[in-house]
Each structure stands twice: as structure tokens, then as C-alpha cells.
Amino acid sequence: KLLSSIRSGVVTKTLFTVNDLFKYGHDQLNSFYPQILIDLITKFALTTQKFVSERIEQVIEQILPNLKPENQSKFIQWAIENISTKHVQLKYIIAHIISTTDLNLSNDEILVFVQLYQDSDQKVRKEARNIYQKHKNEIGVNSQIDEIILREGE
């Protein structure tokens, strides 16, 4: 029921559903989370109504850090598979979530997102820089990436 109302085209319905998510405990919802989150993010990328996207963003920020590790992994896998999308807004949102949320990323996963510094969209490149800055101690400073990112940041 939750998934179908998130997927429905009706904005207010999505908003009510998003608000309902908070009435459940994280434990009850953990089995749905990767899919609910992915649907919300996709919806977020497509919505033009600011109040909806702000609410969805709050939900994502609250849900993601509380995911069980295996669900966080599923989410990260989905993000990696979808980061090369032609849909710029979706790509930006994924990059933004990765840069602002504390996730357990492997070095290889971090590098996938850092590669976005070569993207054609400025907002996406900015998020890639943020991801690199946040994780460069873990992945080690890569002088090639560092140089490009620093040049880009000027």
C-alpha cells in the first residue's frame, strides 16, 4: 500500500504517505526501506513542487542513516547502477545524498561517485567535489583527481 501510493501520480497522496512513514518504527519498515527510498528518490527527481521535494529530502535524510547495513548496501548498489542516468536531476539527487549522508562506502564505491567530477552538469560536479573532500582521507589523495577538482573549484 505504501509503495503504490508513493508511486501514484498524485502529489498530495505521496506527501501523506511520506508523513505516514514517520508513524511506523524503523524496525517495522526496514524490510521496505530500500524500495521505498528508491521510489521516493525517483519521485523527488521528477517533482517540480518545492514543498514535496523538501519533505522527501527530510525523509531521505532521516531514513538512510537508520537503515540496516544490508539495506544500506542495497541502496548504495542502486545508486551506483543509476548514477550514469541521463536524468540530470536524479543524478544530482543521488550525488547529493551520497555527499551529505554518512554511509559505509567502500573505496571503490567512493571512487564511482567521485568520478562525477567529470560530469557536464555543474551541480553534479560540485557534489562530486564534496564527496571527494569528505572521503579523501579514506581513499587517499589522488593527485590527478585533486588537481582537476581544485582547478574546477576556482
DSSP code per residue over 41-86:
HHHHHH---HHHHHHHHHHHHHHGGGS-HHHHHHHHHHHHHHTT-S
Q: Please calculate the CA angle 135-136-139 and round it to the nearest 5 degrees.
A: 90
Q: What is the pLDDT along the chain (154 residues), one digit of tens a residue?
A: 566 666 665 656 666 666 666 665 555 556 666 777 777 777 777 776 777 677 777 777 777 877 788 888 988 999 999 998 888 888 988 899 899 888 889 888 988 998 898 889 999 999 998 998 888 888 776 666 777 776 665 5
| Res 133: pLDDT | 86
| Res 139: pLDDT | 76
Nearest to 21 by CA among 60, 73, 74: 60
Q: How far apart are alpha carbons 31 and 82 in whole angstroms? A: 21
Return the C-alpha cell found at 143. 593527485
